[in-house]
Structure 1
Amino acid sequence: MGQQASVAQPGTKFQVIGAGLPRTGTASFSEALRILLNGPVYHGGTQATKAPEAEIRSWIKILSHYPAKSPSDNQIIQDNLRHRLDGYAAVTDMPAAGLITELLELYPDALVIVTVRDPDAWVKSMETVANASTLWFLRFVLFPISGMRYFPDYINVLRNQWVHNYGEKEPISAKSHFNHLDYCKRNVPPERLLFYNVKDGWEPLCKALGKPVPDIPFPRINDGEAIDRIAKEMITKGLVRWLGIFVTLGAVTVPYLYFRP
């Protein structure tokens, strides 16, 4: 999860489907793609939590029709994906990582790059995501925040997507990790599929993209710290909004009760 939401640049050619699961270095990977492709990258986790309300509502609509059960469902998914990703050079993280066939239908020339890491380490790190996204009080706390009031609904449709694709609810195990790798292998031609560990740095990524190696260090962004920071930021923001609401209500109702006949 990155620092801030990306902004689309009209006319940007879409080139890469980042199909790595959350907590596989997707934030570092997104920044690396931004540098190599010289265009904005759509990181799902960041856009859902930091971008305008239309972003998260669009993904809820997409996932509410997934998996497509009719041609009209598929059309809704395709139309919303096209609108959401127009002006971006790549997309990474969920929900896009679980929509590979749909994205390949939309971008048949795109390269699919799957960020990977040690399965056991991945399972441990996913506990951070689960803990931050399933707090029981989120719906109430986040309600005063535009966009984030839809976050619980977003998590619900994400969970449904995950169960459909990988057959597993929380607590997540290595089963989801391996099922996702199989999902990628089944749906992507081998010549357009790359499994990539961000620990390997620029070399394999640049080779796959046909780009020279930049003369700068490979970006290193801690996804876990970013998730914790954003969760605390949003909860604090929501509580402050509620405090303001209660103070305003108090300022209106107390004088009325005191001075009423």
Structure 2
Amino acid sequence: MKVIVASMSKCGTKTLHKCLEILGYTVADFDRHAFRDREEWENILLYGSSSEQFYKMYRDVDAVCGAPAFYFWEEIATAFPDAKVILTTRNDEYEWLKSFRELIRRGTSSWMFRLCFNFTPTGRRTRDHFRRLDRVLYACPPQGLFRWHYLPNDEILRRRYREHIASVVSRCDDERLLQFDFRDGWKPLCGFLGKPMPDQVFPHENKKGALVGSAWDLEGFKKMKRELYVGVVVISAIASACCVHLLNKIQMAG
């Protein structure tokens, strides 16, 4: 592990992920945390973390970013004492809040997401995992039966944003931390990481939560869709068989 991205969601983490890949790093992001390492994260949430856990989880990658890793940046930094820390922010807490709520709106307004999260085995496990994360990361209240993401009020979310940034800035050693502004382009990022500047335009990923739709390209979400389709086929077959049986009984009775 060489780089820890301590940025909250909707602070350009997907852009930074792309930058790190262009610079040759392998990156563990949200999809890995949510699916491949979900059991390990469940244990961390229930019983606490250790340096050994994080070292075992991320010793095979160069960088880590995304939720919930950003929240545990300090524990991960302890496990990898030579790793550098990068923090990106929005212009202000109100801009971040607007962007974050739009991301959640896009996700929760999708009927396919709702069906998968409530009516497939993988979806229900993932939904319950997200609910536990949301309580830790964003102080989310208990969720209703078919709600998978209900946010607290704006004041609590803005406080979470401010407190996280203050924690990173105050607790991370200055020589180990880069507070990165995307408007500065490649130069400060490459200088901090000791990498030559690539001959590529600086990327800009996930504008206005656009990557929500591409979540279905991730293997975990593909599995949910397969389970949903299988469930529909099985239920349709059972319903058809019941109809045939009922019609036969009616004909015999007639």
Tell me the alpha carbon deviations over residues 154-196 of structure 1, each in whole angstroms, 9 at most, x when there is no partner.
Answer: 22221222257xxxx6234432222111110233112111111
Closer, same or farther in 2 for the Cα pair 1:145/1:80, shift >3 Å? farther
Q: Give the equivalent residue in structure 2 for 1:7.
A: none
**Map of 2:19 onto structure 1:** 32
Verify: 1:254 aligned to 2:240, yes or no. Answer: no
Contact preservation (8 Å) 2:138, 2:152: no
Matching of residues 114-129 of structure 1 within 5 Å: 114-119=87-92, 120-129=94-103
C-alpha distance 110-216 of structure 1, shift in aligned 2 (>3 A): same
C-alpha displacement at 1:127, in angstroms?
A: 0.4
* Alignment partner of 1:186 is 2:173: no
Name the counterpart of 1:5: none
* Higher helix residue share: 2
- Local SS of the residue matching 2:234: helix
Q: How does 1:52-67 map to 2 (within 5 A)?
A: 53-65=35-47
Q: Could you say which structure has the greater relative contact order, defined with CA pairs below 8 angstroms and 6 or more residues apart?
A: 1
Residue equivalent to 1:243: 232
Report the Cα offset of residue 39 of structure 1. Answer: 3.0
- Name 1:141's counterpart in structure 2: 116
- Using structure 1 for the length normalisation, give the TM-score: 0.75
SS state of the match for residue 99, structure 1? Answer: helix
The one-letter amino acid paired with 1:196 is F
Distance of aligned partners of 1:63 and 1:41 in 2 relative to their CA distance in 1, 3 Å threshold: same
User: Separation in 1 of the partners of 2:230 and 2:109?
Assistant: 18
For residues 230 and 52 of structure 2, the distance between their equivalents in structure 1, rounded to whole angstroms, comes to 35
SS at match of 1:154: helix
List runs of 5+ in structure 1 lacking aligned partners: 1-13, 69-73
Write the distance in 1 (CA, Å) between the matches of 2:3 and 2:41. Answer: 19
1:84 to 57, 73, 89: 57
1:211 aligns with 2:195: yes
Structure 2 equivalent of residue 130 of structure 1: 104
| AA partner of residue 118 (structure 1) | N
Partner of 2:25: helix, strand, or coil?
coil
Task: Give the whole-Å Cα distance in 1 for the aligned partners of 2:33 and 2:173.
Answer: 29
Deviation at 1:132, TM superposition (A): 4.6
The CA deviation string for residues 18-65 of structure 1, in whole angstroms up to 9 with x for no partner, is 0000011111101111222x2310112x3356xxx4433332332233
Equivalence for 1:227: 212
* C-alpha distance in 1 between matches for 2:245 and 2:41: 44
Tell me, yes or no, if the aligned pair for 2:13 and 2:66 is still in contact at 8 Å. yes
Return the alpha-carbon distance in structure 1 between the equivalents of residues 153 and 231 of structure 2.
Answer: 32
- 2:204 maps to a residue whose letter is R
Counterpart in the other structure of 1:9? none
Matched, 1:159 2:134: yes
- Percent pairwise identity: 24
Over 3 Å counting, the alpha-carbon distance change for 1:247 and 1:115 in structure 2 is: same
Kept in 2, the 8 Å contact 1:143–1:149? The answer is yes
2:193 is matched by which residue type in structure 1? L
Q: How many residue pairs end up in the alignment?
A: 230
Cα RMSD, aligned residues only: 3.1
Distance 1:117 1:228, change over 3 A: same
**Is the 2:52–2:79 Cα contact (8 Å) retained in structure 1?**
no
Structure 2 gaps of 5+ residues are 140-150
Q: Secondary structure at the match of 1:113?
A: strand
Query: Structure 2: how far apart are the matches of 1:57 and 1:252?
Result: 39
